Amino acid sequence: MAYQSLYRKYRPQRFSDVVGQEPITKAIGSQVTNDRLAHAYLFTGTRGTGKTTVAKILARAVNCSNVLEDGSPCGECDICRGISDGTLMNVIEIDAASNNGVDDVRTIIEEISYRPQSGKKKVYIIDEVHNLSLSAFNALLKTIEEPPDYALFILATTELGKVPITIRSRCQRYDFHRMTVDTIVHRMKKILSAEGIEADDKALGFIAVQADGSMRDALSLLDRCLAFNSGEELTYERTLDILGAVDVSVFSSFMKIISEGDLKGAIKLLDDVLMRGREIQIFVVDLISYMRNLLLISAGGRNGADISDVLGVSPDTYEDMKAVAAKFDVETLTRYIGIFSELTSEIRYSTQKRVLTEIAIVRLMQPKMQEDVASTRQRLAIIERKLDRIEREGIKTPAGSDKDSGHPDKPAKKAPLPEALPEDVKLVCDNWGRIVKNSQDMNKGILAEAQPSVRGNDLVIVCRDDVSAGSLKRSSDDLEAVLARETKKQIRFEIYGPEKGEDPEATFPDLRSMINFDEIKIVD
């Protein structure tokens, strides 16, 4: 038999087997037994917290002909078996990461009109739902608003902020929390005893910390350890070897070097760690948790209180950590943790992990370096340039009629069209699909995905992403011509993309019009 990962092999089949999410499984289980189900659920939370697992159990439970006391599927009736072995098509799983277009959603909608042949419900599990395109979300919205009584939607996402509020408000939402180290260790012990494998607590504790709240990550790390350990007892040292991690004594040396301000020594230590084949990401994460322990000792342990049990370290290690902690004050340690926490997100997808880590080490050593000065200066320079230009050229509105572009398609110059009234703009919004379809605009695809709305006399166009918005802005003359041809009016419009770092909700047109920023725009 082919090897099955621990995560799959031990995937819970009942609500009561799901660990770490008891309030959620209890609530949903009782909805099943009392037949008070919502028609759409939204499961949110970081990866590996059990969203898909609970979705699968729920999908079987609503169909099972012999539901257990806690609302779980029996796992034995014809329906449960049919769903498990794939002969019954009551549960449809869609991965929105690879099926994100409007056509994919349309396929679902067309298919939903057929009742399930056996079982009670047709369940659609849409995983990573935030990947759907705007038009796909809109298509889905209509179905979720008025689904047939036999349909149930379960949407799962790791990025709630990217799910439109219109979808969110129509779902019953459950937030899946990160798993605690204890929960993860407990679960791993159970699995290992079922597998007949011994492991020491320190090894499991280490794996659980590495997994950072994700059961899936913990079990895949455990998979890796077991694969390299050929049935022997899994020790802490072996785990460090296999996972490319370093022992706590290395962090102790590192912090001593830092306290002496020895930059060269710190860089050399990093080099040694990497030369021994250790993973830089793991090193950084472990260093943060070591610093956090120092901080706890420094903040709470000074008055003689022994917190070694809280930290889960041996008495020897604890004595050493106390000596290291005494070299720093609470503020400094807090600042260090801040710098390295930033680093973890920076290096996650970077190819320059080592350089970024070295820069972070330099920052540790330079307390006076103000992190924001560079970016503040840069922003100031941009504002000054813009002000200069306003002084020189005055303020222009985008697509203003005084612009002399000489575009062949531009009727505004030849014979000025009357300015559009709100009704005109609304008409454009109502007929957006048709207008876009008829246009020869090379940005047709972008326009089709964009969200038009009325703000005063203006048309506001919110694009799916910044790149689309940029492309549309660059050829705004074309769009102007299309709108003029269509309405015989001069329609002013503004183009937005979901700005980086901003909550996507803020870019939705209704919120935009309430805030009313970007009133003055400079034409590039």
H helices present in 91-200, as ranges: 102-112, 134-145, 165-168, 181-195
- Beta carbon nearer to Zn ion, 122 or 455: 122
Q: Sign of the C-alpha dihedral, residues 472, 476, 478, 480?
A: positive
- Beta carbon nearer to Zn ion, 64 or 420: 64
The stretch near Zn ion (CB under 5 A) out of 60-68, 196-204, 255-263, 273-281 is: 60-68
The stretch near Zn ion (CB under 5 A) out of 49-57, 78-86, 321-329, 387-395 is: 78-86
Q: Shortest distance, CB of residue 78 to Zn ion, whole angstroms?
A: 8
Which of 252, 228, 223 has the alpha carbon at shortest distance from 242?
228
- Beta carbon nearer to Zn ion, 35 or 110: 35
* By CB under 5 A, residue 80 contacts Zn ion: yes
Beta bridge partners of 127: 95
Q: Shortest distance, CB of residue 15 to Zn ion, whole angstroms?
A: 13
* By CB under 5 A, residue 77 contacts Zn ion: yes
The stretch near Zn ion (CB under 5 A) out of 63-71, 170-178, 249-257, 464-472 is: 63-71
* Inter-residue contact 396 to 523 (CB < 8 Å): yes
Q: Shortest distance, CB of residue 446 to Zn ion, whole angstroms?
A: 48
Angle CA(35)–CA(38)–CA(39) in degrees, nearest 5? Answer: 115
Q: Is 26 left (phi over 0), alpha (psi -120 to 50) or beta?
A: alpha
The stretch near Zn ion (CB under 5 A) out of 80-88, 180-188, 214-222, 486-494 is: 80-88
Q: Is 304 left (phi over 0), alpha (psi -120 to 50) or beta?
A: left
- Applying CB under 5 A, the site for Zn ion has a residue count of 6
- Binding map of Zn ion across residues 5-44, x = CB under 5 A, - = no contact: ----------------------------------------
Which of 225, 203, 291 has the alpha carbon at shortest distance from 255?
291
- Beta carbon nearer to Zn ion, 57 or 469: 57
- Beta carbon nearer to Zn ion, 74 or 448: 74
Q: Shortest distance, CB of residue 112 to Zn ion, whole angstroms?
A: 23
* By CB under 5 A, residue 339 contacts Zn ion: no
Q: Shortest distance, CB of residue 68 to Zn ion, whole angstroms?
A: 9
- Beta carbon nearer to Zn ion, 76 or 518: 76
Q: Site for Zn ion (CB under 5 A): which residue of 19, 37, 38, 74?
A: 74
* Inter-residue contact 203 to 239 (CB < 8 Å): yes
Q: Shortest distance, CB of residue 27 to Zn ion, whole angstroms?
A: 21
Q: Shortest distance, CB of residue 66 to Zn ion, whole angstroms?
A: 5
* Inter-residue contact 494 to 520 (CB < 8 Å): no
* Inter-residue contact 33 to 74 (CB < 8 Å): no
- Beta carbon nearer to Zn ion, 78 or 262: 78
The stretch near Zn ion (CB under 5 A) out of 64-72, 257-265, 303-311, 342-350 is: 64-72
**Token pair belonging to 278:** 């250790």
Q: Site for Zn ion (CB under 5 A): which residue of 64, 108, 222, 321?
A: 64
The stretch near Zn ion (CB under 5 A) out of 23-31, 74-82, 363-371, 488-496 is: 74-82
- Beta carbon nearer to Zn ion, 120 or 256: 120
The stretch near Zn ion (CB under 5 A) out of 79-87, 298-306, 376-384, 507-515 is: 79-87
- Beta carbon nearer to Zn ion, 68 or 359: 68
- Beta carbon nearer to Zn ion, 32 or 208: 32
Looking at residue 18, the DSSP 8-state letter turns out to be -
C-alpha to C-alpha distances, 145 to 153, 170, 488, nearest whole angstrom: 11, 7, 36
The stretch near Zn ion (CB under 5 A) out of 56-64, 221-229, 323-331, 493-501 is: 56-64
The stretch near Zn ion (CB under 5 A) out of 61-69, 87-95, 160-168, 390-398 is: 61-69
Distance of CA 208 to the CA centre of its chain: 21
Q: Site for Zn ion (CB under 5 A): which residue of 29, 45, 73, 164?
A: 73
Q: Shortest distance, CB of residue 75 to Zn ion, whole angstroms?
A: 6
- Beta carbon nearer to Zn ion, 74 or 263: 74
d(CA 120, CA 152): 10
d(CA 157, CA 20): 18
- How many other CB atoms sit within 10 Å of the CB of residue 138? 17
- Beta carbon nearer to Zn ion, 53 or 451: 53
Q: Shortest distance, CB of residue 79 to Zn ion, whole angstroms?
A: 5
Residues near 330 by Cβ (< 8 Å), separated by ≥ 6? 295, 298, 299
Residue 91: phi and psi, rounded to 5, are -110, 120
* Inter-residue contact 266 to 257 (CB < 8 Å): yes
d(CA 380, CA 371): 16
Site for Zn ion in 122-151 (CB under 5 A): none
Three-state SS letters, 355-392: HHHHHHHHHHHCCCCCCCHHHHHHHHHHHHHHHHHHHH
- Beta carbon nearer to Zn ion, 71 or 73: 73
Q: Shortest distance, CB of residue 34 to Zn ion, whole angstroms?
A: 18
**Token pair belonging to 89:** 């098509």
- How many other CB atoms sit within 10 Å of the CB of residue 401? 15
Residues near 98 by Cβ (< 8 Å), separated by ≥ 6? none
Interface residues with Zn ion (CB under 5 A)?
64, 66, 73-74, 77, 80
